[in-house]
Amino acid sequence: MRVDLHELLGLPGGRRDFFRQSIGQWGERLLEQTERRLAPEKRARPPGALPEVAFLTACTRCGACEPVCPPRAIRYLPASSGLGAGTPWIDPKSQPCIVCEEMPCVRSCPTGALTMPDHGWHGYRLGRVEFVPERCVTYQGTPCRVCVDACPVGERALTQDELGHPVLRWEGCVGCGVCVRECISSPSSFALTIAEE
């Protein structure tokens, strides 16, 4: 009696699908390990950046994205940055991305290292922002709207409740970091984690 490996393992498809699935999982793990070795420090890349290893391969360090960035948020990594040397990055603490609707940096990229997301900013994330209420001055009785007024996305991402406290809406937040930099609290009432795409 012949035993079908897929039935035994509860997998759909034939032998070819099984090997594709196995190699796909193995390849994904290999890519993650390679990325950890080649780029141990996470950098905030311009919008539409490919996953890090692919980005490092595709980016020719041409410099086309930096001059078209309206807030001049794009910088280049120094020569001491190993394989990332000369590639564009954004330091949200210094000058975050301001969520330009047309994404001029992406449109200027000649290699596809920066690629226009299918739905533009809708559903796209540069990073993940978290709100830390115990740091916020509104919870200490001081009225403040600085973060809400500074947010380039607007009420889809950040608003206030009836008591004047910030309300972060993850579904609309793109993780640009403007709120982190503009917050008057020290340390900031917002924390930014770079996206792991």
Interval 91-137: pLDDT, tens: 998 999 999 999 999 999 999 999 999 999 998 999 999 999 999 99
Say what percent of the chain tops pLDDT 70. Answer: 78
Q: Are residues 146 and 185 in the same domain?
A: yes
Residue 110, C-beta contacts closer than 8 angstroms, at least 6 positions apart? 60, 62, 64
176 versus 83: which is more confidently predicted?
176
CB-count exposure of residue 130 (10 Å: 0-12, 13-18, 19+): middle
pLDDT score at 177: 95
pTM: 0.76
Q: Which DSSP symbol is given to 50?
A: P
Q: Are residues 27 and 98 in the same domain?
A: no
Q: Are residues 173 and 148 in the same domain?
A: yes
Whether 65 has a pLDDT exceeding 70, the answer reads: yes
pLDDT score at 4: 45
Whether 6 has a pLDDT exceeding 70, the answer reads: no
- Please state the three-class secondary structure of 72-141 as a single string: CCEEECCHHHHHHCCCEEECCCCCCCCCCCCCHHHHHCCCCCECCCCCCCCCCCCEEEEECHHHCHHHHC
For the record, the structure tokens of 34 come out as: 């390679």
Residue 71 domain boundaries: 41-123
pLDDT score at 188: 96
